[in-house]
Amino acid sequence: MSVPSPPPPPPCSSFPFVLACLLIFSLILNTPCILAAKTNNNNARSSRRQLSVDYYAKSCPQLEQLVGSVTSQQFKEAPVSGPATIRLFFHDCFVEGCDGSILIATKPGSKELAEKDALGNKDLRVEGFESIRKAKALVESKCPGVVSCADILAIAARDYVHLAGGPYYQVKKGRWDGKISMASRVPFNLPRANSTIDQIIKIFNAKGLTIEDMVVLSGAHTIGFAHCEHFVSRLYDYRGTKQPDPAIDPRLLRALRMACPHFGGNTDIVAPFDVTTPFLFDHAYYANLEGKLGLLASDQVLFLDPRTKSLVQELGKDKQKFFQAFAVAMEKMGSIGVKRGRKHGEKRKDCSMHL
């Protein structure tokens, strides 16, 4: 499959422009904390055996080209579609497994909200949902009733990683769409922006993912943005100390404080996870952590903890190693909680509605 080369990053690629970035991207972009999913190691290994790269070779051989035509166009028209869709994939896999349950809309009048309406998902960008909706509509027009929303989401996330400059890797397919989507299942399955390293590790381990997987997958924060509310406590009252987090560069602290006052600030203001190359999928995220330039407490802690520090340093020096590890970790994460067959899943024609 031919995928367009990524565009060069816009002129927000050096630290002196951090403040300008923060203000320019107000009301435009956002991608808070993405991570984690629900299963055990045995189930994860079993799911990986069930998936295959050529799953749709006969039933929908043009699948990747169809999805790719949508993702490439979306990336040109709305670059935020990239981090928005990658985040959508993470949040899907981390709750019910990679089954498209994050795409389900809450039924009118229902007392139980769907996943997408959970508090922890309230900042999910509409561009991510739109990417999948458009890709699904195109696929349905060519291969009706064949391809799951869950597989389209996995393919689209990979496409956007590559379009932003990251690795291109083969996506194993064969997921069915899940039948359960409940907001109440979200809170304990997603790390928060201020989660401790122990809390994050515990969530990842519960999904069959290792500490190394966690560090590598956190590298998805090489692109994307977060609202002030997700890091404002670091700037003014870190863990109740009435002081800023000491593990933040003073220049970054000043810039972020100008954009994000302690109280009464513009709730639409966002800041880039990666202050050096915010639009480019590269390994700068890890070098930033070494320089105390991590945006979230849950980012910066990766460099502070001895269990993760050495890997952060290695990945910060070797882009190719990060790319290879990221492709492997995405495949591993993408196999979490996979549904197969009509007993456990369905093939939705409209990703937002059950059959």
Catalytic residues, by residue number, are 91
What distances in angstroms separate CA 329 from CA 208, 232, 293, 312, 333, one per listed residue? 11, 30, 24, 15, 6
SS3 52: strand
Give dist(CA 347, CA 52) in Å, integer: 17
Q: In whole angstroms, what separates CA 152 from the centre of its chain?
A: 15
- Token pair 């909200």 is found at 113
> How many C-beta atoms surround the C-beta of residue 301 within 10 A?
22
Tokens coding 155: 């393919």
If you ran DSSP here, which 8-state letter would residue 85 be given? H
Residue whose token pair is 């513009």: 266
Give the integer Cα–Cα distance in Å for 270 and 286.
Answer: 20
From the number of C-beta atoms within 10 Å of its C-beta (0-12, 13-18, 19+), residue 27 rates as exposed
Residue 260 amino acid letter: C
Contact 181, 351 (CB under 8 A): no
Output the DSSP codes for 149-166: HHHHHHHHHHHHHHHTT-
Q: Does residue 148 contact residue 55 with C-beta atoms inside 8 Å?
A: no
- How far apart CA 57 and CA 63 sit, in angstroms, is 9
